[in-house]
Amino acid sequence: MKSERQVAIVTGAGNGIGRASAVALAEAGMDVVCADINADTAETTASTGRQHGVDAISLQVDVGDVAEIDAMVAAAVERFGRLDVIVNNAGVTRSAHIMDLTEEDWDRMHRVNAKGVFFCLQAAARQLIEQGGGGRIINIASISGRGFKGTSNAAYSASKGAVISLTKTAAQQLGEHGITVNSVCPGVTRTAIVDEIIGTRARERGVSVDEYLEEFTKDIPIRRANDPEDIAAMVAFLASPAARNITGQSYNVDGGLVTS
């Protein structure tokens, strides 16, 4: 049966920005497919989503596997009869200097952060076009893709730069179908991945986490890192009717850290 509500897929929905985005869309009245490589955390997010009076399901998905991406979209349509929004959030990184990165690092990050985003976008667009057009594609990039000097590593920056570029091209080519494509570029955001990087760098410098965090945030004009909910608010806006004529854009949510 076709859902009377809009339907969204969120990848990497098990924690951090993905979890906050899935919950924000549920709060906005959408049914949500919570996809994550970790089945348990995906279900935790879906359970939270259902508390907002919508239907939410969890799927275990590796977005680096195109067959699993196709199965994810098919499962969403089988359950809800439609798709309206996809948030391509799943991503991986690690803290490393450019000279310490390996081929394995490069392949791992680009498999998830670039290849995964592209094929999720493509699979969602295929379904949206089949439905008659319309819909929203929201990619989670990073200010690292804009040259942020505090990036976790160069391979990660390259993968996120690819997402920003993909967003522009996809918006141009999918616009005729009424599909909008935008990306969100988070700055320093207190997720589990970022907290792990902060801990690593604090140990390397021989300082406490609090001392390193104070140093790390001093260049942010508003003097605070993002919470995942700050990114989710932009995601919810881009998925809303208010953003119907916005496409091909990449929005920094970073407290003013990067201004281009």
pLDDT tens-digit series, residues 46-86: 999 999 999 999 999 999 999 999 999 999 999 999 999 99
Q: Is 212 a catalytic residue?
A: no
Cβ(131)–Cβ(240) below 8 Å: no
The residue annotated as part of the active site, out of 80, 119, 148, 156, is 156
**Entry pTM:** 0.94
3-state DSSP assignment of residue 7: strand
Asked whether the predicted pLDDT for residue 3 surpasses 90, the reply is: no
pLDDT band, very low/low/confident/very high, at 225 (cuts 50, 70, 90): confident
d(CA 33, CA 31): 7
Mean pLDDT of 246-260: 94
pLDDT of residue 45: 98
Task: Please tell me the predicted confidence (pLDDT) of residue 1.
Answer: 61
Q: Which of 24-33, 175-184, 212-221 has the lowest mean pLDDT?
A: 212-221
Where are the CATH 3.40.50.720 domain residues in the chain?
7-189+227-245
Q: What is the CATH number of domain 7-189+227-245?
A: 3.40.50.720
More confident residue, 214 or 11: 11
Burial class (CB within 10 angstroms; exposed 0-12, middle 13-18, buried 19+) of 242: exposed
Mean pLDDT to the nearest integer, 138-153? 95
